[in-house]
Amino acid sequence: MSDNKIKLDGDSLSLDNFIKVVREGVVVYFSKESQKKMKESRQMLEDWVNDEKVVYGVTTGFGPFVSVLIPSKHQTDLQENLIRSHSANVGPLFSEEEVRAAMLLRLNVFAKGCSAIRIGTVNTLKEMLNKRIHPCVPQWGSVGASGDLTPSSHIALALMGEGEVIYKGKKVKTAFAFKKEGVIPVKFKAKEGLALINGTTMMTGVGAIQLYDAWNLVRSAEIISAISMGALNASMEPFIARGHEMKAHPGQISVASNLRKLLADCELVINNDKLKKIQNDLQDKIKNGKEVVDSGIHVQDVYSLRATPQVLGAVRGALDYITNSLLIEMNSANDNPLFFTDLGISYQGANFHGQTVALPLDVLSISLTEIAVLSERRLNKLLDSVRSRGLTPFLAGKKAGLSCGFEGSQYIPTSLVAECRTLCNPVSIQSIPSNGENQDVVSMGLIAARKARDIKEKIEYVLAVELLAACQGVEERGVEKLGNILTLAHKEVRKLVSSHNKDRVMSNDFEKIKDFIHQGKLVSVIKKKISDLE
């Protein structure tokens, strides 16, 4: 990769480079080897077309129409009819970054050189991506079996110069954007319409964006939990390395390590030396015959503090599994048929099926929700004066009662967690046969991706509420005791949102902090101090 370009070869697209193209607009180009493979597979197909060889989707109809033979003289009509008839999605549009994700991954599929699509057609799609001409793609309608046929058709429709696109922030006719940028519409030839729509690129693209954000969220949750632990005078004992080595889940070990680093110079938590002194003092009282009914000493913290490595560690483990699955899919040839020039054959299989994406994305929804479950419980402890170890009720300060503090704010995470739990109902098992029973087992993978996206956004709000409450809590304790590391985060928060010294409308506060978390700025500011945060 150069500074401003990313090479596509069908095998090595990383999650970071994916995001650079999708969110930052970095342009792409094809490796010489990929261009060679694309030309070879196309030549093989054209030789077969000239010989009127029977090939699915080339000289036959599609799906249940597979037994209908189509003479090669109708190859353009066959492909264009496929695209127009399947441009049938409805509902709100996918965002520009989601459409870019699908376009990028389709290009990476073609870079493998097995799709037998003309390189000129591929270059037009690449030109659209690089020039930021984004087809309008409605969200609802894919069943994720022959891939995302219907949403991908809306992208292919734009390649034909038809339909609408988002261009320079406005919805315009595709023909208008093409004229402005000098892009020539494509007249599809044999197999090209099918190659453009038969695959998992929409569900994988949308899902990969959520996966990238999920990694940011689990790291953000660790930082926020550390600030909450400071506000709640939590014990450091549960994070001792040896204890986690005895269970040895990598994710759990990573979270515990991060918490030790984050809280290393925090005076608000009970470190191991403090805890030992407290326990020794208590033991002396007992030995001297003093009856201790309630010592006020918390020998063990509640699970939402003490079990943070175990819970967020499990989330990290799930994200490792999801990352592996999606990276494989992002660098896969997932259309049908595929053309293997070295074997001289076409392969008619089911690489387009989205189950390898749908199931991990269901797990992603559950994992994201678990982050919120933990956050909501910590927030409850921060706001409950019976359990907060001395913080004011609802962090309302000295005028608690007259002032409500975070009382109204607590409802937001409570509501959102309930909604996320409802959305966690798995869709990867919701197969409904379609297409004349040809697609009798479908994945619903794009629904899983959209569901994970909706949950992710809600979790960002949950964490935003906890972060503001945690910052308020440490201010009641004495922010100077928070330590140099976490103070960096506290200062950045306060640049955006002032302390809650009197009741005010907080919706805009939460929006600002939600964006701060979503953009990765919370993690970035801490990584400036702790470069080896995992």
Please give the DSSP secondary-structure letter assigned to residue 95. Answer: P
Residue of 177, 174, 310 lying closest to 250 (CA atoms): 310
- Cα–Cα distances (Å) from 257 to 253, 254, 268, 304, 383, in that order, read 6, 5, 18, 17, 27
Q: How far apart are CA 144 and CA 51, in angstroms?
A: 33
Q: Give one DSSP letter per residue of 364-390, joined into a string.
A: HHHHHHHHHHHHHHHHHHHH-TTTTTS
Q: Which of 56, 212, 303, 411 is catalytic?
A: 56
Q: How far apart are CA 490 and CA 43, in angstroms?
A: 61
Q: Which helix (H) or strand (E) holds 27?
A: strand 27-30
Please tell me whether the peptide bond between 337 and the residue prior to it is cis, using omega within 30 degrees of 0.
Answer: yes
Task: Print the SS3 string covering 223-252.
Answer: HHHHHHHHHCCCECHHHCHHHHHCCCCHHH
Q: Which residues are annotated as a binding site for substrate?
A: 86, 198, 306
Q: How far from each other are the two terminal CA atoms of the chain, in whole angstroms?
A: 25
Residues 6+ apart with CB under 8 A from 23: 97
Q: Give one DSSP letter per residue of 30-84, joined into a string.
A: E-HHHHHHHHHHHHHHHHHHHTT---TTTTB-SGGGGGSB--GGGHHHHHHHHHH
Residues 6+ apart with CB under 8 A from 297: 278, 279, 282
Q: Is 56 a catalytic residue?
A: yes
- Cα–Cα distances (Å) from 252 to 255, 315, 324, 375, 490, in that order, read 5, 9, 19, 17, 25
Taking the CA atoms of residue 428, residue 433, residue 437 and residue 438 in that order, the dihedral angle to the nearest 10 degrees is -30
Phi, psi of 78 (to 5 degrees): -60, -45
Q: How far apart are CA 249 and CA 238, in angstroms?
A: 15
Report the DSSP pairing between strands 5-8 and 27-30.
Answer: parallel
**Are the beta carbons of 6 and 22 closer than 8 angstroms?**
no
Q: How far apart are CA 164 and CA 55, in angstroms?
A: 32
Residues, the chain: 534
**Catalytic site residues?**
56
